[in-house]
């Protein structure tokens, strides 16, 4: 996170939220791209956790936590991180967003909504602890991942 102030980096998180309202500025494109790349990494982390649970020794609490995190991020407003001005550029790495994310914002929103719908269902199923049901719903979720990647993400 960049700031024009000279402060310890350890305080930046606190500072960014504690700054007076009038000092707040819209996040820079680089920051938005970092946040969206981070959000999808968190999804990958937790999708992998659910997969490890259904394929290995099933820990209900771990699977629930992972599914809840996926659902929260899926419902958390991901399309808002693809603002005008972030069509290209670098966050942690060059963006892999296709131009279609921006030219077909409605379609991208629908793809995200499909993902959120299946993520919510995964979180619901994970509450029950039926491993086969969790596995099946994970597969349903992953179809929405792939569909969105096909339409809206460049290979890199």
CB of 108 to its own copies, least distance (A): 15
The residue (of 81 and 111) whose beta carbon lies closer to its own copies is: 81
CA distance 135 to 119: 13
Q: 133 — phi, psi (to 5°)?
A: -70, -40
Residue 48, judged by CB atoms within 10 A of its CB (0-12, 13-18, 19+), counts as exposed
CB of 127 to its own copies, least distance (A): 14
Both tokens of residue 34? 């970092």
Both tokens of residue 59? 């820990």
CB of 106 to its own copies, least distance (A): 19
CB of 110 to its own copies, least distance (A): 18
CB of 128 to its own copies, least distance (A): 19
CA distance 117 to 99: 24
What does the binding site for its own copies look like in residue numbers (CB under 8 A)? Answer: 1, 8-11, 13-14, 16-18, 20-21, 24, 27, 34-35, 37-52, 55-56, 62, 65-66, 68-69, 71-73, 75-77, 81, 92, 96, 138, 142, 145-146, 149-150, 153-156
Please give the torsion angle defined by the CA atoms of residues 50, 77, 72 and 123, in that order, rounded to the nearest 10 degrees: -60
The residue (of 42 and 130) whose beta carbon lies closer to its own copies is: 42
The residue (of 10 and 106) whose beta carbon lies closer to its own copies is: 10
The residue (of 57 and 84) whose beta carbon lies closer to its own copies is: 57
The residue (of 13 and 105) whose beta carbon lies closer to its own copies is: 13
Rounded to 10 deg, the angle between the 105-128 and 131-152 helix axes is: 170
CA distance 133 to 125: 7
């Amino acid at each position: 996170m960049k700031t024009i102030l000279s402060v310890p980096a350890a305080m930046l998180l606190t500072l960014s939220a504690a700054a007076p309202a009038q000092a707040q500025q819209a996040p820079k494109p680089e920051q938005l791209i970092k946040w969206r790349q981070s959000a999808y990494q968190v999804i990958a982390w937790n999708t992998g956790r659910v997969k490890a649970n259904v394929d290995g020794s099933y820990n209900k609490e771990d699977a629930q936590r992972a599914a809840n995190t996926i659902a929260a991020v899926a419902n958390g407003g991901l399309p808002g991180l693809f603002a005008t001005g972030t069509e290209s550029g670098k966050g942690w790495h060059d963006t892999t967003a296709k131009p279609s994310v921006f030219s077909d914002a409605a379609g991208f929103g629908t793809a995200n909504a499909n993902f959120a719908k299946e993520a919510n269902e995964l979180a619901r199923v994970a509450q029950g602890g039926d491993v086969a049901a969790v596995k099946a719903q994970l597969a349903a979720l992953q179809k929405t991942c792939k569909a969105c990647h096909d339409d809206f993400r460049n290979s890199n």
